[in-house]
Amino acid sequence: MARDFIKVQFLEDVPPDEIEAALILATFATESLYGAPRLRLDAGHNFDRERLLLTVDATAAVGQTLSRLFLGFISRELDDECYSVRHVSPSTPTAVE
């Protein structure tokens, strides 16, 4: 199975606490839909506070849901110009950091 990662890069003036709050909400909502075991197994994610970079394993539907919910929540708090979203495959050297 090919891996698919979603990377969300934020501008340096975005407060990391706002990003983490949206990620927590998205995690809770995803867990409510799929359960904690599936969330842990199928929606790996990492938020690098220093680089303001969120990486989500979106190979499975659970990770895709987490990504969509996160982007929905964060877009209510920030302008679209404050972040960029891209898909990264494992063949890209920096897919998982």
Q: Look up tokens 């190979």; give the residue.
A: 59
Separation of CA 2 from chain center: 18
pLDDT in tens, 74-96: 999 999 899 999 999 866 555 44
- Domain boundaries, given as residue ranges, for the chain: 5-88
Express each pLDDT in 12-61 by its tens digit: 999 999 999 999 999 999 999 999 999 999 999 999 999 999 999 999 99
3-class state of residue 79 by DSSP: coil
Three-state SS at 81: helix
What was the pLDDT predicted at 5?
A: 95
What is the pLDDT at residue 3?
Answer: 72
Cα–Cα distance list, 35 to 52, 73, 80 (Å): 27, 20, 30
pLDDT of the residue at 92: 55
Q: Which CATH number fits domain 5-88: 1.10.390, 3.40.50, 3.30.70, 1.10.3470?
A: 3.30.70
| pTM over 0.85, yes/no | yes
